[in-house]
Amino acid sequence: MLPAVLPVAVQIWCVLGVGLVGGAVLVERVYGYPGIGELLVSSVQSGDIPVAQALAMLLGAAMLLAVTAADIAVALTTPWKRTAP
Protein backbone atom coordinates (compact mmCIF):
# COMPACT_ATOMS: atom_id res chain seq x y z
CA MET A 1 0.00 0.00 0.00
CA LEU A 2 2.91 2.37 0.65
CA PRO A 3 3.97 2.67 -3.01
CA ALA A 4 0.42 3.70 -3.92
CA VAL A 5 0.41 6.45 -1.29
CA LEU A 6 3.69 8.05 -2.38
CA PRO A 7 2.45 9.94 -5.48
CA VAL A 8 -0.51 11.35 -3.61
CA ALA A 9 1.66 12.34 -0.64
CA VAL A 10 4.14 14.18 -2.86
CA GLN A 11 1.36 16.14 -4.54
CA ILE A 12 -0.20 17.02 -1.17
CA TRP A 13 3.16 18.24 0.16
CA CYS A 14 3.53 20.39 -2.94
CA VAL A 15 0.08 21.94 -2.52
CA LEU A 16 0.72 22.58 1.17
CA GLY A 17 4.04 24.24 0.35
CA VAL A 18 2.35 26.57 -2.11
CA GLY A 19 -0.38 27.26 0.44
CA LEU A 20 2.26 28.41 2.90
CA VAL A 21 3.07 31.29 0.55
CA GLY A 22 -0.54 32.43 0.74
CA GLY A 23 -0.42 32.11 4.51
CA ALA A 24 2.71 34.23 4.58
CA VAL A 25 0.70 37.19 3.32
CA LEU A 26 -1.65 36.88 6.29
CA VAL A 27 1.13 36.39 8.84
CA GLU A 28 3.14 39.32 7.49
CA ARG A 29 0.06 41.51 7.52
CA VAL A 30 -1.03 40.59 11.06
CA TYR A 31 2.39 40.71 12.72
CA GLY A 32 3.88 43.51 10.63
CA TYR A 33 6.80 41.48 9.29
CA PRO A 34 8.32 42.88 6.12
CA GLY A 35 8.30 40.37 3.28
CA ILE A 36 7.03 39.46 -0.14
CA GLY A 37 3.42 39.19 1.04
CA GLU A 38 3.43 42.63 2.60
CA LEU A 39 5.07 44.05 -0.52
CA LEU A 40 2.39 42.47 -2.70
CA VAL A 41 -0.47 43.82 -0.59
CA SER A 42 1.01 47.32 -0.36
CA SER A 43 1.76 47.47 -4.09
CA VAL A 44 -1.81 46.45 -4.95
CA GLN A 45 -3.25 48.99 -2.51
CA SER A 46 -1.07 51.80 -3.85
CA GLY A 47 -1.69 50.88 -7.50
CA ASP A 48 1.93 49.97 -8.26
CA ILE A 49 1.05 47.59 -11.10
CA PRO A 50 4.57 46.63 -12.31
CA VAL A 51 5.61 45.49 -8.82
CA ALA A 52 2.38 43.54 -8.35
CA GLN A 53 2.82 41.89 -11.76
CA ALA A 54 6.44 40.98 -11.02
CA LEU A 55 5.51 39.45 -7.67
CA ALA A 56 2.62 37.52 -9.20
CA MET A 57 4.95 36.17 -11.90
CA LEU A 58 7.58 35.27 -9.28
CA LEU A 59 5.08 33.42 -7.08
CA GLY A 60 3.55 31.73 -10.12
CA ALA A 61 6.98 30.59 -11.31
CA ALA A 62 7.76 29.23 -7.83
CA MET A 63 4.49 27.30 -7.85
CA LEU A 64 5.19 25.94 -11.34
CA LEU A 65 8.68 24.88 -10.26
CA ALA A 66 7.30 23.14 -7.16
CA VAL A 67 4.65 21.25 -9.12
CA THR A 68 7.20 20.22 -11.76
CA ALA A 69 9.60 19.01 -9.07
CA ALA A 70 6.79 17.02 -7.46
CA ASP A 71 5.90 15.42 -10.80
CA ILE A 72 9.53 14.48 -11.40
CA ALA A 73 9.79 13.03 -7.89
CA VAL A 74 6.68 10.93 -8.49
CA ALA A 75 8.01 9.73 -11.85
CA LEU A 76 11.34 8.72 -10.31
CA THR A 77 9.87 6.95 -7.28
CA THR A 78 6.99 5.04 -8.86
CA PRO A 79 8.15 2.34 -11.26
CA TRP A 80 4.75 1.77 -12.91
CA LYS A 81 4.69 5.40 -14.09
CA ARG A 82 7.93 5.01 -16.04
CA THR A 83 7.76 4.46 -19.77
CA ALA A 84 9.57 1.61 -21.47
CA PRO A 85 12.61 2.57 -23.59
pLDDT tens column, 13-61: 777 777 777 787 788 878 888 888 888 888 999 999 999 999 889 888 8
Rounded-to-10 torsion of CA 70, 75, 79, 83? 170
Domain range holding 66? 43-74
pLDDT tens column, 52-67: 999 889 888 888 888 8
Would residue 27 count as lying in a domain?
no
Would residue 47 count as lying in a domain?
yes
Domain tally, the chain: 1
Would residue 61 count as lying in a domain?
yes
Would residue 66 count as lying in a domain?
yes
Q: Is 0.75 surpassed by the pTM of this model?
A: no
User: In 10 A of CB 37, how many CB atoms?
Assistant: 20
Asked if the model's pLDDT at residue 85 lies above 80, the reply is no
Beta-carbon contacts of residue 58 (< 8 Å; ≥ 6 apart): 36
Would residue 30 count as lying in a domain?
no
Would residue 25 count as lying in a domain?
no
pLDDT of residue 1: 57
- How many angstroms from the chain centroid is the CA of residue 42? 21
